[in-house]
Amino acid sequence: MKRSFINKSVYLAMALAFLPAIARAAEWRIDPSFDFRAGYNDNIRLSVQNEVSSAEAGFSPRASFSRNTEISGLAGIVDLDFRRYEESSDLDENNARFELDGYRNLERGRLSLNLAYINDTTLNTQLEATGITLGRVDRQRYTAAPGWSYFFSPRNRLDLRYTFNDVSYSNVGLVPYIDYRVNAGQASLVSVLNEQITASATLSHSASTNDNDVDSSNTGLNVGVEYRFSKTLTASLSAGARYTKTDFTRNTSIPILDGNVFVGAIPLSQDISNSDWGYTYNVSFKRKGLRGDIELSASQNISNDINGQPIEVLQL
């Protein structure tokens, strides 16, 4: 069985690198909040027959924090969500999200680090990301994403980013969810042409493997442009090509017959490789207001399905 590992000491060292500068700053900023809700549902499972009614309650404590200096910054979120159903305890949820973002400015660049943990069900963020889920299963996702930016000049820079995701499921039952890991990297060249136009070119590659030894990869090249009509209205467009490949082993057997009598089988393994080309795009319009933002977007990209394999996702 193939597995991917990350060196946790590397990310710990990078995280500690932000702390000396942060320690010289002033005070932390912490914004706590909570939400409590209760209600009654006369058909909790949306059934045509044998309807089940249930009282329900939810409690969601949340806190965000940040601290900045002239050369560094740190921000994080702690978000919990507990849901209880009196007559359908199998629908109870204990969701949690922890996220930490840090950065440190260098003489001609910037180091960044994102660490995140999400504990939810596949009907939450998994359904939102791909639009596909086979059932309600508990899911845990760990993310580590260091980055580095280098400024050739005030208008031109290089962005490098690596992302590791580890996704595991619990209480799977008969639903065919498979734990998987994804390693992804991307390099972007960004150029500010003038006060209104910013152009970019991005090369990306991701490789995933799951516990069924299915290995997949996706390589893409995109070019994009962002146009600022005003201080409050921005439009962006990016498009490119991608190449996706999946390798796996198909295990079958050849039956051995003595006349019409089955006497045994010969195992047979066959290596299968599938690949295809395609295109990706992303179009968006964003308007900033005094009390909120409005964004309209359409995109077609490659994402990872419930087993870590690449799928094409269209989002509006």
Tens-place pLDDT, residues 252-276:
777 777 777 777 777 877 888 889 9
pLDDT at 49 (0 to 100): 78
Residue range(s) defining the domain that contains residue 113: 8-315
Which tokens belong to 23?
């320690």
CA distance 281 to 301: 7
Lowest mean pLDDT among 20-24, 89-93, 182-186: 20-24
Which domain CATH number covers 171?
A: 2.40.160
CA distance 256 to 261: 8
pLDDT at 85 (0 to 100): 86
208 is a domain residue: yes
Most confident of 30-34, 38-42, 222-226, 268-272: 222-226
Give the number of domains in the chain.
1
2 is a domain residue: no
Which tokens belong to 122?
């596949």
1 is a domain residue: no
239 is a domain residue: yes
pLDDT at 129 (0 to 100): 66
Q: Is 139 exposed, middle or buried (0-12, 13-18, 19+ CB in 10 A)?
A: buried
Q: In sequence order, what E strands does the chain have? A: 29-41, 54-68, 72-85, 93-105, 109-121, 138-153, 156-170, 180-192, 197-210, 215-228, 233-258, 261-288, 293-304, 310-315
223 is a domain residue: yes
Tens-place pLDDT, residues 1-29:
333 334 444 444 444 444 444 444 456 89
CA distance 241 to 220: 6
- Other C-beta atoms within 10 Å of 151: how many? 15
pLDDT reading at 128 higher than 80: no
pLDDT at 21 (0 to 100): 44
76 is a domain residue: yes
Can you give the pTM of this predicted structure? 0.79
Lowest mean pLDDT among 136-145, 158-167, 301-310: 301-310
3 is a domain residue: no
Three-class SS of residue 176? coil
